[in-house]
Amino acid sequence: MAYDNILYETSDRLAFITLNRPEKLNALSNELRGEVFHALKEAEADRSVGVIVLRSAGRAFSAGYDLTPSRNASQGSPFVHPRSGLPDTGTTHPAHYDWSRHVLLGNWLIWELSKPVVAQIQGYCLAGGTELASFCDFRIVAEDAQVGYPPVRAMGTMDIMWAPWHMPMTKAREFAYAGDSFSGKDMAALGWATYAVPAANLAEFTERFARRMGHIDNDMLMYSKRSVNRQYEAMGIRNGLMSGTDVEAMSKHRPAADEWRRRLAQDGLKAALEWRDGPFRDFRGASATAPAERPLAGAGQ
C-alpha cells in the first residue's frame, strides 16, 4: 500500500519505516501515526522480516505531535478511524482531553508487536517523539541529538510518563518538570538510549545492530520480547502509564492552562511556542523574537 507520510522498504531480514515529513521536522500528524502503525503490522506479517528499524528523514527524528491543522488526517484516509480521524486503538476516544489516553493506547501496539523495533534517532526528539521512541525496544541515538519534553513548561504534563521507567529518579524528575533537553550522549549514560554514536556513524551502526539480531529466528525474538515485557507489566508499567494520562488531563484544567490556549488562538503556534520557551532560551525560545522574560502564567489566580 502506498503511504504519503512515511517510506517503507525491506532489505533481507530488516524492514525500514522512515518518517518522511522532514519539512515539518517529522511532526506526528494523525495520518502519519496511522501509517506507521499500518507499516509496523505489514512488517510483523512478513515472515522474511525479523527486525524493524524506525527512522526519520531530515535533521530531526521528530519534534513531537503536530499542533497545527495539518495534524488532522485527510478525509477518507485508510489509516485512521472514520469517526475519530485518529489511528484506530479500539475506541473513538470521545471524552474531553482524551489525547494522552489515545496516544498511550496507540503506542502499546509497538509494545505488543511480535518483532523488535529499533529507533534510529538524530537531531530533535521531543515530546511525542520521545514517546514513540520510548516504546521501541532499542534506541540508537546520535551523540548530539536533543531529547526533551518542553510542553511541560506551559501546556500539560507528559502525555506518557515514561521517564521514571527509563531514568534514575532525580533525572526523571528533571526531565518531567523543566522540559530541558538532554544530549544523546547523556541519554545513553542515563539508560534511555541503548547506544549513542557520532551522527556520521548513526545509520551504519543502527543497521549493523539490527542485522546482528536478525540472525535469530522470529519466534525466538518474539518470545524473548514477550518475556521481558511481562516482567515490566508485573512491576506495574501498564497501570502506571495509564494513571499518568489521567493526571495529564487534569493538568490541562489548571488555571494557568488558559494562558497557553489564549496565546495559541490569538497569536498562532510559532508565537505561543516562543512565549513558552523564551525564558529558557532554547527550542523556539532561541529565536530573536522570543521574550527573554515573561510574567508567570496564572500569577495571582
pLDDT in tens, 270-280: 999 999 999 99
Same domain (yes/no): 136, 269: no
* Residue 293 is assigned to a structural domain of this protein: no
Residue 208 lies in a domain: no
Residue 72 has pLDDT above 90, yes or no: no
Same domain, 164 and 259: no
Task: Kindly tell me if the per-residue pLDDT of 198 is higher than 70.
Answer: yes
Model pLDDT, residue 175:
97
**Within a domain: residue 48?**
yes
Residue 291 domain-assigned (yes or no): no
How is residue 5 annotated by DSSP?
S
What is the pLDDT averaged over residues 9-18?
98
Strand 124-126, strand 146-148: pairing: parallel
Q: Are residues 142 and 266 in the same domain?
A: no
Q: Which CATH number is 228's domain given?
A: 3.90.226.10
Task: For residue 167, give every residue at least 6 positions away whose Cβ sits within 8 Å of its Cβ, in sequence order, or none.
Answer: 175, 190, 191, 192
In a domain, 295, yes or no: no
Is residue 97 domain-shared with residue 179, that is, in the same domain?
yes
Within a domain: 177:
yes
Q: Are residues 31 and 176 in the same domain?
A: yes
Q: Do 101 and 197 lie in a common domain?
A: yes
Report in angstroms the alpha-carbon separations of 258 from 140, 198, 221, 275, 299: 38, 42, 47, 14, 12
List phi, psi (to 5°) of 80. Answer: -130, 160
Residue 166 has pLDDT above 90, yes or no: yes
Question: Do 20 and 91 sit in the same domain of this protein?
Answer: yes
**Does 68 have pLDDT greater than 90?**
no
Sign of CA dihedral 147, 157, 33, 36: positive
Q: What is the pLDDT of residue 218?
A: 98
pLDDT of residue 296: 87
Q: Which of 256, 223, 208, 17 is nearest to 114 (CA)?
A: 223
The rounded mean pLDDT for the chain is: 94
The answer on pLDDT for 74 being more than 80 is no
Asked if pLDDT for residue 223 goes beyond 60, the answer is yes
**Binning pLDDT at 50, 70 and 90, where does residue 18 land?**
very high
**pLDDT higher than threshold 60 for residue 227:** yes
One domain, residues 269 and 235:
no
Say yes or no to pLDDT of 45 above 70. yes
Percentage of residues in the chain with pLDDT exceeding 70?
A: 98
Cα-based distances in Å from 178 to 71, 100, 158, 191: 26, 19, 11, 19
Would you say residue 176 lies in a domain? yes
Predicted pLDDT of residue 299: 66
Average pLDDT score over residue span 111-120 = 98
> Beta strands 14-19 and 51-56: pairing type?
parallel
> Please, are residues 264 and 275 in contact by the beta-carbon 8 Å criterion?
no
Q: How far apart are CA 194 and CA 269, in angstroms?
A: 34
Residue 10 lies in a domain: yes
Q: What is the mean pLDDT of residues 87-111?
A: 91
Is 75 a residue whose pLDDT tops 80?
A: no
Indicate yes or no: pTM above 0.85. yes
The structural domain count of the chain equals 2
| Alpha-carbon span 97 to 40, nearest angstrom | 27
Q: Which domain holds residue 269?
A: 255-286
Residues 123-152 pLDDT 10s:
999 999 999 999 999 999 999 999 999 999
Residue 230 sits in the same domain as residue 265: no
Does one domain contain both 192 and 264?
A: no
**pLDDT confidence bin for 222, thresholds 50/70/90:** very high
Beta-strand pair 182-183/146-148: antiparallel
Residues 100 and 153 in one domain: yes
Same domain, 274 and 235: no
